[in-house]
Amino acid sequence: MPTPTGQGPIKVASPGLGGRTFRLPDVGVGSSLESHGTVHGAPPMEWASVAIDKIIPFCDGPRLVRNPKWEHIKAAIRSSGGLTAPLSVTRRPGEDVYVCHQGGNTRLLILQELFRETKDLRFATTCVHIAPFDNDFNLAVLHDRENTCRGNLAYIEEAWSKYRLFDIYASNASSKVTVKRFIKDMASEHGIRLTVEAFSRMRYTVEVLYQHVPTCLVHGGMSLRAVRRLVSVRSALKKAWRSRELGPDKAFDEAFYGLLERQDQALAEAFLGKSGTARVGPDPRIALDWSRFLQDMQHEFAVAGEVDYQTAGGWIAAACRSLPVNASPGLGPPKGGCSTEHAAALKPASETPTSLRLASFERAQELLDLVELGHLIESRRDSVGYQLTSAPAPTATPMARACWWALTLASTSANDMAEVVTAQHGIPSFDDMSPSALRAFSDVLVLQARLKEQEN
């Protein structure tokens, strides 16, 4: 896999993860300054002035494409005639070049680019703080933490960083490493918190999804929510495929991932061209067309089941009942309140207590999925709509708690509502809910009201 600094492929081969070479965009490195007579080394001291061709970016850093603020940072460095704060660097034993120690890849690459463009010697050397070298794992942790704290990484970059951390961690371990042990050590020793579920999703994103939708992940900035949606759709469609006995799982995977790959390649040709590079930062136009994808899957189901297109469409609709078919992955409900027209559109084709109960549950689950609390809800078959299984953790965001409480109150009868409110403290304000969450909640209210009318 070409590293974020374009220094060639990295072979990922850690226990339990498999060895593959992944292709990622090349953003370039600086050229040599040997012919300019600048200082090429630094004495073993804490501070030094070092030639930029004697510093290399950290190759396992999180970034896979240029920093979205590249041009802004470049303009600032150009106007200042160099860096206003020293780079933190370190040097591995036996090597004569330094490596960025705690972030700084972007600033170094910009310095190299400015020198290539201007030949201005102000950009040929820079002041550095030389930190003692510990080991490659701790170096990777420092870069991961630095970039994660800035909060502008794409999901694939965050996933790649954690995946690579596990790879380095496992390769340096003296015994077999488990994901649980890795997560425990990351939290206790480095303050980086993960869950097994989150890491598994990251590993799936790097090992599987990147093979088929690299353009959407890297240049489209495909979000965590979009990845979760894609995983949910695959699970739902695969269950439908198996229940209809349409063929082996391998045939389903070939159809599913093949359609993803064709869309991704078309997007790459349309927006990246032959160069394979995009503008700095994610391009919102580079996203999967979810409606088109489901239509293509409908065709695959029809061919595999030897049925007409309409019958296959019924299978797809039943499998993805809780998903907005005409939405791209990661796009939430439209902003604003629930209009009369939209409320009418929520009405199931056959409005029975069962259909209303299912629609209410699915919309409520979509709302909790929006704030990553979807595991706290389940369908209630003997009463109104849905039921919430437990309260969110104390660490949940105000918006997450507000959504949970909104659904709690919506599913509680008028006689019980006062008791629920009295028994609990610190109920978040609806001001904590985003417009898309409010829209989803208003949909739930409409469906719950219709269901209560039916059952009364």
Do 352 and 253 lie in one domain? The reply is no
**Whether residues 102 and 21 fall in one domain:** yes
Q: What percentage of the chain exceeds 70 in pLDDT?
A: 74
b/e string for 38-71 if b means 16 or more Cβ within 10 A? beeebeeeeebebbbbbbbbbbbbbbbbbbbebe
Q: Is residue 200, in this structure, part of any structural domain at all?
A: no
Q: How far apart are CA 10 and CA 24, in angstroms?
A: 10
Q: Which domain holds residue 382?
A: 340-455
Residues 351-360 have a mean pLDDT of 74
What does the alpha-carbon distance between residue 387 and residue 376 come to, in Å, rounded to a whole number? 9
Asked whether the predicted pLDDT for residue 357 surpasses 90, the reply is: no
Are residue 253 and residue 296 in the same domain, yes or no? yes
Claim to verify: residue 97 and residue 141 sit in the same structural domain:
yes
Same domain, yes or no, for 307 and 344? no
Domain boundary pick from 149, 177, 206: 149
Indicate the number of domains in the chain: 3
What is the maximum span of the chain, computed from C-alpha positions, in angstroms? 88
Domain boundary among 116, 149, 182: 149
Higher pLDDT, 214 or 326: 214
Q: Does 208 reside within a domain?
A: no
Contact 128, 86 (CB under 8 A): yes
Same-domain status, 239 and 142: no
CATH label of the domain that carries residue 73: 3.90.1530.10
| CA 97 – CA 89 distance, rounded (Å) | 10
Domain end (from 118, 149, 180): 149
Domain co-membership, 360 together with 414: yes
Flag whether pLDDT at 57 surpasses 50: yes
Domain assignment present for 127 = yes
Could you say which DSSP state residue 69 is in?
T
Residue 393 has pLDDT above 90, yes or no: no
In order of 113, 224, 455, the CA distances from 357 in angstroms are: 60, 29, 10
301 in any annotated domain: yes
Asked if residue 124 belongs to a domain, the reply is yes
Looking at residue 399, its pLDDT comes to 81
Token readout for 196 is 């097994």
- Least trusted range by pLDDT, from 46-55, 114-123, 218-227, 412-421: 412-421
The verdict on residue 196 lying in a domain is no
Q: Is 56 helix (H, G, I), strand (E, B) or coil?
A: strand
Rank 129-133, 391-395, 444-448 by mean pLDDT and report only the highest.
129-133
Distance CA 348, CA 334 (A): 19
**Within this chain, do residues 309 and 372 fall inside the same structural domain, yes or no?**
no
Residue bearing tokens 């150009």: 78
Mean pLDDT of the chain: 75
37-46, 120-129, 176-185: range with lowest mean pLDDT: 37-46
Structure tokens of 122?
């102000």
- Give me the pLDDT at residue 2, please: 39
Residue ranges of alpha helices (H) inside 155-273 are 155-172, 179-190, 196-204, 210-212, 214-218, 224-243, 249-271
* Cβ neighbourhood burial of 249 (10 Å; 0-12, 13-18, 19+): exposed
Q: Is the pLDDT of residue 413 over 80?
A: no
Q: Are 16 and 142 contained in the same domain?
A: yes
How do beta strands 125-130 and 98-100 pair?
A: unpaired
Q: Is 432 exposed, middle or buried (0-12, 13-18, 19+ CB in 10 A)?
A: middle
Residues 407 and 363 in one domain: yes
The string of pLDDT tens digits covering residues 114-173 is: 999 999 888 888 888 888 888 888 888 888 887 776 656 788 988 988 998 898 888 887
Highest mean pLDDT among 240-244, 327-331, 420-424: 240-244
Residue 249 backbone dihedrals phi, psi, to 5 degrees: -60, -35
Helices (H), 272-349: 290-305, 309-319, 340-345
pLDDT of 214: 93
3 has a pLDDT exceeding 50: no
Asked whether the beta carbons of 145 and 193 are under 8 A apart, the reply is no
Q: Is residue 199 part of a domain?
A: no
Confidence class of residue 344 from pLDDT cuts 50, 70 and 90? very low
Q: Are 346 and 356 in contact (CB under 8 A)?
A: no
Say yes or no: 289 and 403 in one domain. Answer: no
Evaluate whether residue 207 is within a structural domain: no
Q: How far apart are CA 365 and CA 313, in angstroms?
A: 23
Q: Are residues 445 and 413 in the same domain?
A: yes
159 Cβ partners below 8 Å, 6+ apart?
201, 202, 203, 205, 206
pTM: 0.59
Cα separation, 213 vs 85, whole angstroms: 38
The whole-angstrom separation of Cα 347 and Cα 331 is: 22
420-444 average pLDDT score: 64
- State residue 202's pLDDT score: 92
Contact, 273 vs 206, CB < 8 A? no
